[in-house]
Amino acid sequence: MPVISSGLNINSSDFKENFSCYEEKIKILRERQTFVVHGGRDKSIERHLARGKVMVRDRIDHVVDENSSFLELSTLAGFGQYDGSAPGAGIVTGIGIVHGQPCMFIANDATVKGGSLLPASIKKHIRAQEIALENELPTIYLVDSGGAFLPLQDEVFPDRDHFGGTFYHQARMSAAGLPQISVVLGGCTAGGAYVPALSDEVIIVKGIGRIFLGGPPIVKAALNEVIDAEDLGGADVHTLESGVADYIAYDELEAYAKVRSIVENLNSPLNLIGSDHSVKPPNYSPDELGGVISADSRIPFDVKEIIARILDGSEFQEWKPRYGPSIICGTGRLHGYPVGVIGNNGIIFSEAALKATHFIEMCNQRNIPLLFLQNTTGYMVGKDAEARGIAKDGAKMVSAVANSTVPKYTVLIGGSYGAGNYGMCGRGFRPRFLFSWPNARIATMSADTAETVLVDIRLGGLKAKTTSKKEIEELKSEVREQYEVQSDPYYATSRIWDDGLIEPAQTRDVLGLCLALSARQESPEPNFRVFRM
């Protein structure tokens, strides 16, 4: 297979400037991730540990195979929201390996608002269930929650994807034959009681685990009955009398050993296995990716330099290399798994859209998963572009992405603007996983463009002749600030528009795990014939 020859000079001043700029972005990302793990809630952590409880990520470590990887998802969910009081939205989700079986973990962090569920918590929970369903993963719930966050009840209770949606997904996952195991490590109150009740097998830890539809205060208010939490819904009640729980554990470590034993005996045919193809590292180090990305976002970079540092052996069979060069298409392998890559080199012109559509058709015919590397300002505009048919050509690409049945993966490596987000398989087009780099930007348009467009529109509705220069400048500043804030990658990941911010150097390994998950499953029947665009 042809090998990409990098044109990057890692000794150049441009590379060093880019690399230095990106190191600052990585530093900020790591600082914010560290804060999520143990920042800003010392008293809550102290109380949690004083009760003999284990921290949430340590709980997961006790369950997963020793020295195996854990892919945590949406670590920065809730960032900048809720007055900064909900690191990670109070819930940890991710994929870990248990006796060789990849499992989805959904674990409450009781040191954040007692594990109560905020709007972002529920969105994160449901997203994890969607991933489990699509990738056929057993799910392990580590439950330690006060239930819905009542001050925001109108944002967490009644709508389709609110709290009830988590139970709907549990029922659908069960119908699909996906095992679900709950470990009760704290409160399962009100609707939260249905998490274990809808699980296949339930372990409850004596002394800390409790399940009840109404806690002692509600029971007292409703029935004038005074009862303590342990007698109302503790381990003895639910393993001896109600049958809601199946196993009692006398400490957390015993509970995690039991989880591992259950997973070991699932008799699942979908264990994680490696590719049957030899795996070669890229010819160019993924650590160099920070130097590829321009320090100035207005300066383009060649997506093939990214591909050369992700694919095995930097081998890439580029397709139609001379046609529609603003999109790069081609096939290669990543950790041994075949993959079709579609990457942006800027604006999407008609030729590039048709080229991508044709390539998507071929990958679907051949059951090759698709990887989209997004860095685009969107589809071309202007008289010539419209006359050439950019609307219909872009529509063909969007339609091909929407109807593609092979696994799709997306990484935002730069700008993700306008309909380019859709054509390059943004969140609305259901990629199995979507990750972002810390330099990514996502919005209808860039701040520069928005400043011109929106100011002109607003001035058109004002008395432009009587609008002072100062008022116009204030309006420009307002629009620019809005778009700068709302296109920031931390704004996006806080709202779970992606499955997490990752460092560029981690991209190859993260995608390798994602491809390994889909490789366990039966390939879909091709539903495309190939039309020459």
Confidence of residue 457 (pLDDT cuts 50, 70, 90): confident
Share of the chain above pLDDT 70, in %: 99
Query: 3-state DSSP call for residue 334?
Result: strand
Task: Enter the tokens of residue 528.
Answer: 């495309």
* Whether the predicted pLDDT of 464 surpasses 70: no
Strands 247-249 and 317-319: unpaired
- CA–CA dist 485, 450 (Å, integer): 13
Contacts of 46 (CB under 8 A, 6+ apart): none
* CA–CA separation, 309 and 315 (whole Å): 10
**What does the alpha-carbon distance between residue 86 and residue 90 come to, in Å, rounded to a whole number?**
6
Flag whether pLDDT at 434 surpasses 60.
yes
Model confidence over 213-267: pLDDT tens digits?
888 888 998 898 999 999 999 999 999 999 999 999 999 999 999 999 999 999 8
Find the mean pLDDT for residues 422-444: 97
CA dihedral 153, 156, 159, 161 (to 10 degrees): 180
pLDDT in tens, 38-57: 988 999 999 999 999 999 99
What's the confidence (pLDDT) of residue 148?
A: 79
How much is the pLDDT for 186?
93
Please state, in angstroms and rounded to a whole number, the distance separating the CA atoms of residues 211 and 368. 46
Quick one: average pLDDT of 448-459? Answer: 79
Q: What is the spatial distance between Cα 236 and Cα 232, in angstroms, rounded to a whole number?
A: 10
Tens digits of residue pLDDT in 266-290: 988 788 878 888 999 999 999 999 9
How far apart CA 103 and CA 194 sit, in angstroms, is 20
Q: Is the pLDDT of residue 486 over 60?
A: yes
- What is the pLDDT averaged over residues 103-129? 95
Task: Give, as one character, the DSSP assignment of residue 76.
Answer: T
Q: How far does the chain reach from its first CA to its final CA, in angstroms?
A: 25
Q: What is the pLDDT of residue 218?
A: 87
Q: Report the alpha-carbon distance of residue 469 to residue 448 in Å, rounded.
A: 19
User: DSSP letters along 215-276, please?
Assistant: -HHHHHHHH-----HHHHHSHHIIIIIS-S-SEEESSHHHHHHHHHHHHHTS--S------S
C-alpha distances out from residue 145 to 44, 298, 314, 502, 503, Å: 14, 45, 46, 28, 31
Instruction: Count CA within 13 A, CB hemisphere, residue 88.
Output: 27
In the predicted structure, residue 154 carries a pLDDT above the cut 80: yes
- The token duo for 178 is 């996906």
CB 41 within 8 A of CB 111: yes
Contact 70, 60 (CB under 8 A): yes
Choose between 21 and 464: higher pLDDT.
21
Q: What would the DSSP string read from start to end of 371-416?
A: EEEEEE--B--SHHHHHHTHHHHHHHHHHHHHH--S-EEEEEEEEE
Quote the pLDDT of residue 466.
66
